[in-house]
Amino acid sequence: MLTCARNLRATIPGGNIDIAEHDSHMHLAFGEVYEFEEAIRKAREMTDASETLIIVTADHAHAVTLPGYLPVQKSLFSK
């Protein structure tokens, strides 16, 4: 658990979102997005908005796409 201190800097990577999307594992990608949002929410809870700058960046983005064909029997969100 992080404790708030002066000049604290934390980096929270979300690289597994990209990996899951490349492999069309949308259930994993959405789970990673949720966890990333939770990390940002927790950081906002732990800090004072008047004294803290939270920056979220990405080196690229993905659209939700389905490369190739998904068998009818298999759900996009199955594990």
The predicted model gives 18-45 an average pLDDT of 87
Share of the chain above pLDDT 70, in %: 70
Whether this prediction's pTM lies above 0.85 is answered by no
pLDDT of residue 10: 76
Q: How many CB atoms lie within 10 A of CB 76?
A: 11
pLDDT tens-digit readout, 58-67: 777 777 666 6
pLDDT of residue 29: 86
Share of the chain above pLDDT 90, in %: 10
- Residue labelled with tokens 């658990």: 1
Q: Please indicate if the annotation marks 18 as binding a ligand.
A: yes
Q: Please indicate if the annotation marks 48 as binding a ligand.
A: no
Q: Please indicate if the annotation marks 22 as binding a ligand.
A: yes
Phi-psi region of 48 (alpha: psi -120 to 50; beta: other; left: phi over 0): beta
Structure tokens at 23: 């492999």
